[in-house]
Chain A
Amino acid sequence: MLNKKVLTAAMASALSISLLAGCGSNSNDNAASSAAPSASGSASSTSASSDAPATIKLASWIPKAQMDGMLAEYKKEKPSVTVEYEELVENNDSEEGLKKLDLLIASGSNLDVVMFPSAAEYSKRVGLDLLAPLDDLLGAEGIKVTDEYTVDPSLNGKVYALPDTYENYFVLLNKEMLDKAGLPVPTDWTWDDFYDYSRKLTSGEGANKIYGTYFHSWPMYMQLGLLNQSKDNNLVNNGVLKVDSPEVRKSLEIRNQTENVDKSAIPYSDTISQKLAYRSVYFSKKAAMIVTGNWMINEAGGSDEFPATFVSAFAPMPSNSKGEPSGVSPANGNFMGVLKKSENQQAAYDFIRWYTTKGEQWSNVYSAWKKQNVDQFISGLKTKLKSPDMIDTDSLTYVMKNSPTTPLNLPPAYQSELEDAYVKEAEKYVLGQQDMETTVSKASAALQKIVDANK
């Protein structure tokens, strides 16, 4: 009862805040613009406008402690610009952070720079016309976004954000368990080999059973045989459905084979009913390998919450059949954009340019900047990690150099609706409630409806 009341009160106040924001945004703008004239005044008397003193506000889910070092570094680069950081959540949870960000934007907060954890979230906000196009600023600097970055963030021919971290997917393996089972680190493999590994890495019974693999609850784990394709790797590509396809069938088969037939993957019923978290599953040795992305490279070397107690090896994404290259995965990552209503477009742009290039190089994050050097990244990684010995350098180098990435295939703005509808049917299949053909035909019908509704 009490919880419901608190919730309704929160909803009501959120609504009224957005109401007040409508009236209050003018006063916010005044505060910002009263600072701006003095800035532009001093700029005209000194030199280029990009060196003008400015204060820009950045918001993201990244922990403040991590961000502070980065901002101090930027202060050295540009002493006149102050970046205020707004930490959205305390637990590094990007999904929760996004909700906070949406509320902040809705309440008229004067943020300048925002960060999105995936191409889908970025595309959704561009659909709502929140972000400023950066083409003019890029043109003024004289660069082409595709020359600078491995990911092309253009949407409808315009650039609304710069790609920051670079994410592609690979398989993270517990090398101790691999050695115990006498298995080599795979370099070129198919899903059939993956099943085999998973079976051999499974041991024990009951509550102490160690599984070969674990698939997290994210929608991407229901599309594993689709996202390792080098083109058309979305459920809907350019308005055309790709549900009734061998790739989607393969994706469903991967889950069924490992979870229900071989019983070598943590069952989906456990995953959802216990709300399992992939970090604790992997680091507490409940599963020997997980399909994950390169944000986990740093974490495999240990974090405060999950210290590394075993060596992690890396393997490329498996392919669907022999002959196809393994290691193909869609490029994704964080994106940084400037809000349309920001008063400091130039200063904000300068900041994200620095952040996505030299900034990420400084903090040694694998970024989408083309000039970043892989070997330098790995050696840099070793100096920064808590336990550098817990990373298998050879397999990491191999994976990074042998992962052909696909051009970023930006999903439509209604991607989350598509994934919801697909996962709903896929869940029933994985839980043994309906067969493959029913799943495919029902999902096709549901997704077609969404595509039609969003035309």
Chain B
Amino acid sequence: MATPQTGQARTPKPPATRSSRRLREIAAGYVFIGPMLLGVVVFTLIPLVMLFIFSLTDWSFLTGYDKLHLSGFGNFARLLRDPEFGESLLHNLIMLLAVPIGMAVALLHAVLISERAYGSSFFKVIFFMPQISSIVAVAVVWQVLFHPSYGPVNGFLSAVGVHEPPKWLADPHYALPSVMLLMIWIDLGVSLIIYIAGMKNIPRDLYEAADIDGASARVKFFRITFPLLTPTSFFLLITGLIANFKSFAIIKVLTDGGPAHSTSVIVYDIYQQGFVNLKTGYASAMSVVLFVIILAITFLQWAGQRKWVHQG
């Protein structure tokens, strides 16, 4: 084989030299991504493979590996018959609504802030506040605001004449919408900043041309701003849906899945089965189902994006 020395001695073997240089470049490349790759393998890929194995067992993580017995697809069969899992899945799907609603609110605010408001950076900071605060602190504040008997929210409602206002987080019918409201509020800041950045990228001459043609603000929004922001919307939708499906912290600190399981979601069930009931196998099977659902939703969105996303 050609060594680096022969390559430097200008021997007329260009193909071998080129391939050896290429090999060295590839090696150097791997050295550079090595640490990251190692991290991904140890912390993501191996646990992922183990998750699939565990989902086929009735193992508990407390006992040693010698107690690992394969139980086939028993866990998945049990999941199908588990009404609680079905409920949690339904709650997850309802909660997904928070993403498009939140995006619409963010877009509206983005347009208002960047075009109609003085001191736009002030508003950006204000709306970003919930995102930089600890979710536990945010949850405690909302717990107090939503206090069923003397909270400010219900105080206001009864002041304007609502009899028996909802008990919000303590009411099985209102708990899930309350949680969604909070999610929208917390994530508003991020969507807002990204929308504002997206709007900065829209060429001004389009608006000038529209002005010359006498287009109204509404037409400009629906014919220029909205279509040219679709790549941004697509990004927010896809990351938002994934994050929404995985939400756990807010449920854990706000409601613990209650009252009467009305806010339990798949990830909370996984935690409950895996770390409270100590059934690692069953919890792993739930995780696999969640994995497949998120994968499917993401694929659907990629397939659907050609229909509505503006390709620059």
Contact = CB atoms under 8 A, between A and B. Distances in A.
A12 B243 CA distance: 17
A102 B275 CA distance: 8
B30 to A, nearest CB: 22
B221 to A, nearest CB: 28
A8 to B, nearest CB: 7
B159 interface: no
How big is chain B's contact interface, by range? 35 or more
A389 B148 CA distance: 38
Interface stretch (A14-22, A79-87, A237-245, A367-375): A14-22
B170 A99 contact: no
Contact of B149 (A105, A129, A267, A428): A267
Interface stretch (B62-70, B89-97, B211-219, B300-308): B62-70
A1 B131 contact: yes
Contacts of B42: 16
A338 to B, nearest CB: 15
Contact of A272 (B43, B144, B170, B190): B170
Given A19-B50, A22-B65, A128 B259 contact: no
Interface in B259-298: 259-261, 272, 275-278
A273 B260 contact: no
Contacts of A4: 243, 246-249
A19 B63 CA distance: 13
Given A12-B43, A124-B278, A125-B62, A431 B172 contact: yes
A8 B246 contact: yes
Contacts of B44: 12
Interface in B44-76: 44, 46-47, 50-51, 60-65, 67
Contacts of A414: 277
A441 to B, nearest CB: 15
Interface string A438-455: 000000000000000100
Contacts of A453: 78
Nearest to A1: B243
Contact of A16 (B46, B135, B143, B146): B46
A436 interface: no
A269 B167 contact: yes
B220 interface: no
Interface residues of A, number: 45
B195 interface: no
Interface in B96-143: 131, 135, 143
B143 to A, nearest CB: 6
Nearest to A105: B62
Nearest to A18: B61
B258 interface: yes
Interface string A9-31: 10011011011001001000000
A22 B277 CA distance: 22
B258 A99 contact: no
A93 interface: no
Contact of A273 (B62, B167, B246): B167
B135 to A, nearest CB: 5
A15 B150 contact: no
A137 interface: no
B50 to A, nearest CB: 6
Looking at A3, A125, A268, A414, the one whose CB has the most chain B CB atoms below 10 A away is A3
B261 A424 contact: yes
A274 B276 CA distance: 22
B148 A270 contact: yes
A274 B256 CA distance: 12
Given A22-B65, A124-B278, A417-B277, A269 B190 contact: no
A272 to B, nearest CB: 5
Contacts of B63: 128-130
A374 to B, nearest CB: 36
Contacts of B50: 15, 19
Interface in A335-352: 341
B43 A16 contact: yes
A275 B143 contact: yes
Given A12-B44, A270-B148, A7 B65 contact: no
Contacts of B258: 272, 427
B249 A3 contact: yes
A1 B172 contact: no
Contacts of B248: 4, 7
A152 interface: no
B62 A102 contact: yes
Contacts of A267: 148-149
B167 to A, nearest CB: 5
B72 to A, nearest CB: 16
14 contacts: A1-B187, A4-B246, A4-B247, A4-B249, A22-B65, A106-B61, A129-B67, A270-B148, A274-B144, A275-B143, A341-B64, A425-B260, A427-B172, A431-B260
Interface of A: 1, 3-4, 7-9, 12-13, 15-16, 18-19, 22, 25, 99, 102, 105-106, 124-125, 128-130, 206-207, 267-270, 272-275, 341, 414, 416-417, 420, 424-425, 427-428, 431, 433, 453
Given A7-B249, A267-B149, 14 more contacts: A12-B44, A12-B47, A102-B278, A128-B63, A129-B63, A207-B150, A269-B148, A272-B255, A273-B143, A275-B143, A417-B277, A424-B261, A431-B170, A433-B260
